[in-house]
Amino acid sequence: MLPEWYLELSRSSGPAFVSAASNADVAVAAFVAFAIFIVLASILAADWPFDIAFLSLVAGGILVSWSAMIVLTVAAVVLALVVGGLHTLLFPERNARISAEAKARVKPALEEFARDSGMSEAEVKRVLADDDS
Amino acid sequence: MMEQPLEFLETLHRYWNVAATAIDNSAMTVAILVTAAILAAVGGMVGMRMRLYGAIVGGMIMNVVVKAMGGGFAAALAAMAVTTALAFAVGSTPFLLQVLKRARKPARDGP
């Protein structure tokens, strides 16, 4: 049922933490779960699919070897960039609203941090203005 | 009943030692722990959930390093759990300020 090249890849990737499965099998399963839930998170604009996507990536990372972990992380980052880009293109208004909400949430903490780190009021305003542009 | 948590802690400690031996460089271990705490502190600016996520990402860095150094899956998991817990506990805005002040100090004291 599975293509021959994948079976060969699966055999050559070595056993995962759960030795019944190979590194490639676990990495593919984790990546598929991540892909499904990151797409769901962007469609529904909800937190829970994002949590599941993140946790599936963490669980996959724990179970596979370090090289498979790096491949899995790079693939997940690329997919997240693609999904994020598509989300911006398809739902620009919602994307702008989410960005504005995120900025409003983080701005007070950033301002406090900048002041505590010894920046003057003018520097704080300049840095946060640069961030807005 | 009390033996089980103690046994768990003993196992965790044993695997942490395996991970530390695999890394074989205390400066690198401390650097990863500080990185994890910084990630948790930055996440903490958004909220407790992001602080936990930052700490987990830091823990995953420790996990990949231990595996790459030949520490094995169990040791990498134990090191990740310890790193995540430490980063979540320590990673806060005051910690970030301390790191920033210490990073600036040599530049000010320098020639």
Q: Taking the domains of chain B in order of start, what are their residue ranges?
A: 17-95
Q: What is the ipTM of this complex?
A: 0.84
- Residue A75 CA to residue A73 CA, distance in Å, equals 5
Q: What is the pTM of this model?
A: 0.86
User: Is B20 buried (19+), middle (13-18) or exposed (0-12) by CB count in 10 A?
Assistant: middle
Q: What number is the average pLDDT over the span A42-54?
A: 92
- Interface residue of B60, B80, B101, B102 to substitute, partner A, most A CBs within 10 Å: B60
Q: Is A100 on the interface with B (CB under 8 A)?
A: no
Q: Which residues pair with A22 in a beta bridge?
A: A15
**Residue A75 identity (one-letter amino acid):** A
Q: What integer best gives the mean pLDDT of chain B?
A: 89
Q: What is the pLDDT of residues B21-58, one digit of tens each?
A: 999 999 999 999 999 999 999 999 888 999 999 999 99
Q: How long a stretch of residues is chain B?
A: 111
Query: What pLDDT was estimated at residue B106?
Result: 62
Query: What pLDDT was estimated at residue A116?
Result: 81
% of chain A with per-residue pLDDT over 70: 97
Q: What number is the average pLDDT over the span A15-30?
A: 91
Query: What pLDDT was estimated at residue B47?
Result: 87
SS3 assignment for chain B? CCHHHHHHHHHHHHHHHHHHHHHCCHHHHHHHHHHHHHHHHHHHCCCHHHHHHHHHHHHHHHHHHHHHCCCCHHHHHHHHHHHHHHHHHHCCHHHHHHHHHHHHHHHHHCC
Residues of B in contact with A63 (CB under 8 A): 73
Residue A17, classed as helix, strand or coil, is: coil
Using CB atoms, which residue from B53, B60, B100 is nearest to A61?
B60
More confident residue, B103 or B86: B86
More confident residue, B106 or B105: B105
